[in-house]
Structure 1
Amino acid sequence: MDLSSILKPEAVKVIANVTSKKRLFQDLGEVACAGYGLSANDAVDALQERESLGPTGVGHGVALPHARLDGIDTVVGAFLKIERPLDFESVDRQPVDLVFALFAPVDSGVEHLKALALVSRTMRNAEVCEKLRANSDPATLHAILTEQIPARAA
């Protein structure tokens, strides 16, 4: 599995300003609808339901909201770069400007976890995040996210 199999170029957007987490989830729902034909309302509801269990802001300006949805048969992603960072109740209390959301089938099990681990590894890479923050073209952001990053020895 690699990010190019999860993330379509059409599901990468740059947003100037988001005023709330709820608005961010609405934007993610719209991207999921446009990129994958998902119900925007179902996507928003599922993201909010998951977020109510605990914030998905993982620190260093990154959030990884994720949810399971009826009616899809594979894990898909949406990426938003926010030009004015948003308070996201992250673990490090830092505002978020890079958001990679995942939507998985309700019964996806291990596939969802593998995708989440892949996205998490990618977004923990300081070099990747630096490149993402230095660019505002969606096509360039997609290319940065989907380029193969060699695994580093532990």
Structure 2
Amino acid sequence: MDLSTLLRPDAVKVLATVTSKKRLFQDLGDIAHSAYGLDAIQTVDALQEREALGPTGVGHGVALPHARLHGLTEVVGVFLRLEKALDFDAVDRLPVDLIFALFAPKDSGVDHLKALALVSRTMRNAEVCAKLRVNTDPAALHAVLTAAAGAQAA
């Protein structure tokens, strides 16, 4: 499993401003719908349900929201870079500007966990995050993410 199979280029976006976590989840749902055909409302509901269990802001400006969805056959991702960081109730109380959302089939056990671990390792890499923060081109962001994960797997 690698990020190039989880993350389509059209699922990588840069957003100027997001005013709330709820708005962010709506944007993630819209992008997941356009990139993967997921039901936007079901996606938003699942993200909010998961977030109610505890914040997915993991620190250092990174959030990893994730949810399991009915009707999905494989794990897929959406990456957002925010131009203005958003308060996300992260563990370190810092606002987030890098969001990597994962969506997995409802019954995916180990695949969901492997994908989450891969994304988490990638987003803990300070060099990768620095490159993501200086780029505003979605294609360049996708290239940084997929190259970084490939290098870590080697």
**Which TM-score bucket, shorter chain as reference?**
over 0.9
Tell me the residue number matched to 1:46: 46
| Unaligned stretches of 5+ residues in structure 1 | none
Tell me the residue number matched to 2:113: 113
Tell me the residue number matched to 2:37: 37
Tell me the CA shift for residue 151 of structure 1: 5.5
Q: 1:1-154 residue pairs with structure 2 within 5 A? A: 1-147=1-147, 148-150=150-152
Structure 1 residues 76-125: Cα deviation after superposition (integer angstroms, max 9, x where no partner): 00000000000000000000000000000000000000000000000000
Between Structure 1 and Structure 2, which shows a larger proportion of helix residues?
2
Tell me the CA shift for residue 150 of structure 1: 3.5
Give the total of aligned pairs: 152
Structure 2 CA distance for aligned equivalents of residues 86 and 150 of structure 1: 28
Greater than 3 Å deviation, 4+ residue runs:
none
Tell me the CA shift for residue 149 of structure 1: 1.9
Tell me the CA shift for residue 15 of structure 1: 0.2
Of all paired residues, the percent bearing the same amino acid is: 73
Structure 1 CA distance for aligned equivalents of residues 142 and 152 of structure 2: 17
TM-score by length of 1: 0.97
Letter matched to residue 79 of structure 2: F
Letter matched to residue 133 of structure 2: R
Q: CA RMSD in A?
A: 0.9
TM-score by length of 2: 0.97
| Unaligned stretches of 5+ residues in structure 2 | none
Letter matched to residue 4 of structure 1: S
Residue aligned with 2:88, SS:
coil
Letter matched to residue 94 of structure 1: L
Structure 2 CA distance for aligned equivalents of residues 149 and 57 of structure 1: 25
